[in-house]
Structure 1
Amino acid sequence: MSNEPVVFVIDDDEGARHSLEFLIDVAGLRVRSFASADAFLEARLPLDHACVITDVRMPGMNGVELVTELKRRGASVPVIVITGHADVPLAIQAMRAGVADFIEKPFDDDTILAAIRAAFAAQAGRDEAHVERDRTLARLATLSHREREVMQGLVAGHANKVIAFDLEISARTVEVYRANVMTKMHAKSLSELVRMVTIAELAG
């Protein structure tokens, strides 16, 4: 499958499933539907650049159980749960399980399309953050042990002289290491370096 966004619709109600499929297709998005959560999971489709819309109450695995299973498998795909009025408590349970949104029936076309677009936008933001994190970690890996020590001093807000004293090297040597760190990390300023190190620490 390509990197083009795709929406997976999971609903045991054939009429509702085809109606959603038609709506999403007309909106210009790729769509594929399944009659059950089990059938969807068995297909083992790549979930990058994807969004899942599922009914909360279905025979077999329900929408909440699907969200839990996707999380167990390490899939970060956004899930939108569709719920009947009587299923609102179950939908709230789904929200706690990590769904992107839940929409109560009956819903209008604009509501579901807005939820899909919001889910894709949030996923794009996460993807971008992951790329930046990986790029930062790769740059950190190029630093020598001493360069890392100098960097930690810089990030802690210490002056060159203080870092030099702590590491028992000259202030001039600290300046050389500092320049190396900024170059290898592609940091234009100290604040940018601090942000990069923070991203790396969160990743760890």
Structure 2
Amino acid sequence: MGSRMDADKSKSLCSDIIFVIDDDDDMLKYLTALLRSANFDVKGFSNAATFLADYQAGFGACVISDMMMPEIDGLELQKIMAQREIHLPLIFISAFGNIPMAKNAILNGAADFLEKPLDAMELLKSVKAVLKKYPPRKHRLQGSDDVQRHLEKLTKREHEILDRLFSGETNKEIAGNLKISLRTVENHRNNILHKMNVKRYSDLLRLLLVTS
């Protein structure tokens, strides 16, 4: 009975994605497998640029990132996340960790800093502590603020089309109801996706549903 309750509790803590970034393929596979074995939902990336391009505002529980990576290293990733208002706690890992580097990361808001070779239990303990301190719900609330800022960029017509899309109308139906061309609707729809910082309408729908 107790173990089942613990499992349910653990599952509730792991309801949001943990993003793992490491340019070492073997380490990336190890980390994702370890976290999934502990019932976490995980998405792995081989570099920070891919993560930043893929990330959708309002989603995720935390980021676990290697510190020493080509092009965008850990500290640069931390800086970019702050600039883009990606409010997810960061756990850094590095084989080249040192006190000044760790201090810099922590002072800039990192949740933890672990050195390789990693101890599996230490990493899982760190992740659970971070999720307890920074519950994913807080990030969804912050995501709501981000979504609201994006929504404020939309024109009156774009809001009208978004409302109709959200209610289930097709592009053709919207064009007919508003007495505008199908191409105009498609242009507005593309502008909405761009202003909302998403690539697909399905991503926008998911974002609005989660943060509503």
Task: State the structure with bigger RCO (CA 8 A, min sep 6), 1 or 2.
Answer: 2
Q: Is 1:5 matched with 2:16? A: yes
Q: Amino acid of the residue matched to residue 47 of structure 2?
A: S
The counterpart of 1:35, out of the listed 38, 42, 46, is 46
Q: Is 1:68 matched with 2:79? A: yes
Q: Equivalent residue for 1:84?
A: 95
- Contact 1:47 / 1:77 at 8 angstroms: preserved in 2? no
SS in structure 2 at match of 1:4: coil
Q: Equivalent residue for 1:124?
A: 135
Q: Equivalent residue for 2:56?
A: 45
RMSD after superposition: 2.4
Percent identical pairs in the alignment equals: 33
Q: Is 1:20 matched with 2:31? A: yes
After superposition, give the CA deviation of every residue in 1:61-95 in whole Å (9 maximum; x if it has no partner).
00111111111111220000002245443222111
Structure (1 or 2) with the larger CA radius of gyration: 1
| Aligned-partner Cα distance in 2 for 1:63–1:35 | 13
Instruction: In structure 1, list runs of 5 or more residues that go unmatched.
Output: 135-204
Q: Equivalent residue for 1:200?
A: none
The TM-score normalised by the length of structure 1 is: 0.57
Query: Across the two proteins, how many residue pairs are aligned to each other?
Result: 129
Instruction: In structure 2, list runs of 5 or more residues that go unmatched.
Output: 1-13, 146-212
After superposition, give the CA deviation of every residue in 1:13-33 in whole Å (9 maximum; x if it has no partner).
000000000000100000010
Runs of 4+ more than 6 Å apart: none
| Aligned-partner Cα distance in 1 for 2:97–2:78 | 20
The TM-score normalised by the length of structure 2 is: 0.55
SS in structure 2 at match of 1:67: helix
